[in-house]
Amino acid sequence: MFKGSFVALVTPFKENYEVDFEAYGRLVDFHLQNGTHGLVPCGCTGEAATLSHEEQKECIKFVVERVAGRLPVIGGAGSNNTKEALDLTKFTKEVGCDGALLITPYYNKPTQAGLIAHYTTIAKEVDIPIVLYNVPSRTGIKLEAETVAELSKIPNIVCVKEAGGSVEQVSQILSLCNITVLSGDDSLTLPMMAVGAQGVISVAGNIVPADLAKMCWLALQGKFTDAKEIHYKLFPLFKALFYETNPMPVKAALARMGMIKNVLRLPLVPMSEPQYKKLEQVLKTLELI
């Protein structure tokens, strides 16, 4: 159902740490103009963990209204509290999102049976396409391939964002079921697409949307030689955007490009100077600044 380059939008803040909706609008317009295939507000890259639920809802609603049907929008609706995740998922449906992204519950470390119960409860309550989100490095729990296959039997669980750093995991999932897989790791997008993933929910797409969209589109057409050229061109950027914790580097890059202010909410802070200088050199090499 979801294919190509979906961008995990950053949430721009003013110097007083309030959401900067003027900058947010510019970012959305940037993607509309540069071929991005879809937008994902209020995920990990969007600092959802430090947004209040009211702010999160306001951001999702803003993006849906700004896009005005021109691109699919998958709203970040995850929580480690099933009741809260259900409320946020209902909201994504109410405001017209095309899907809801639900991270595995973090900190409380549910079993696979608990994950199945969590997602099943939400999917059966809200008739919206649901994207599972596996990112063990942030949550402390892995969504096993067998669990994904079991959940894929529910009609509106249609996709998984796979950010476990493993192409083997993608192969295991697709050997068990026909769910859509999207990469959650830019540097593994092309390898994952080579074994059947349909695209990416991208951090780098915030900065190079046209290149990411083209790479994914080429790969979807089986033109992997051409897609590989873009992969290797952007590979230094993929790595640079994780010199420090995401979204610290991508916000620094967007600020250096004049698109947002380099403001994050505590406990995240701007990049350290040595790492920022390394990032800046990558941006210069790619002629982004």
Dump pLDDT digits (tens) for 85-112: 999 999 999 999 999 999 999 999 999 9
Half-sphere exposure (CA, 13 Å, Cβ side) for 246? Answer: 24
User: Is residue 270 very low, low, confident or very high in pLDDT (cuts 50, 70, 90)?
Assistant: very high
* Mean pLDDT within 214-237: 98
Average pLDDT, whole number, for the chain?
A: 97
Are the beta carbons of 97 and 60 closer than 8 angstroms?
A: yes
Grouping H, G, I as helix, E, B as strand and the rest as coil, residue 142 is coil
The per-residue pLDDT for 213 is 98
Asked if pLDDT for residue 191 goes beyond 90, the answer is: yes
- Give dist(CA 119, CA 114) in Å, integer: 9
Asked if pLDDT for residue 223 goes beyond 90, the answer is: yes
Q: Which CATH class is domain 4-225?
A: alpha beta
Q: CA 60, 64, 66, 67: dihedral to nearest 10 degrees?
A: 130
The per-residue pLDDT for 160 is 98
Q: Kind of pairing, strands 130-134 and 157-162?
A: parallel
Q: Which residues contact 236 (CB under 8 A, 6 or more apart)?
A: 282, 285, 286
Q: What is the pLDDT of residues 31-65, one digit of tens each?
A: 999 999 999 999 999 999 999 999 999 999 999 99
Q: What is the pLDDT of residues 155-170, one digit of tens each?
A: 999 999 999 999 999 9
Task: Report the run of H or E that residue 103 belongs to, with start and end.
Answer: strand 99-103
Are the beta carbons of 44 and 277 closer than 8 angstroms?
A: no
Which of 215, 279, 267, 272 lies closest to 241, judged by CA?
A: 279
Asked if pLDDT for residue 1 goes beyond 90, the answer is: no
Q: CA 53, 54, 56, 59: dihedral to nearest 10 degrees?
A: 180
Task: Report the run of H or E that residue 249 belongs to, with start and end.
Answer: helix 248-256
Are the beta carbons of 105 and 82 closer than 8 angstroms?
A: yes
* Mean pLDDT within 204-231: 98
pTM for the complete prediction? Answer: 0.96
- Give dist(CA 49, CA 70) in Å, integer: 28
The per-residue pLDDT for 161 is 98
Asked if pLDDT for residue 143 goes beyond 90, the answer is: yes
The per-residue pLDDT for 130 is 98
Are the beta carbons of 12 and 19 closer than 8 angstroms?
A: yes
- Give dist(CA 49, CA 51) in Å, integer: 6
Asked if pLDDT for residue 225 goes beyond 90, the answer is: yes
> Helices H, strands E: what count in the chain?
12, 8
Q: Give the sign of the dihedral formed by CA 198, CA 203, CA 204, CA 207.
A: positive
Q: Where are the domains of the chain?
A: 4-225
Residues with a known catalytic role:
133, 161
DSSP summary character for residue 73: B
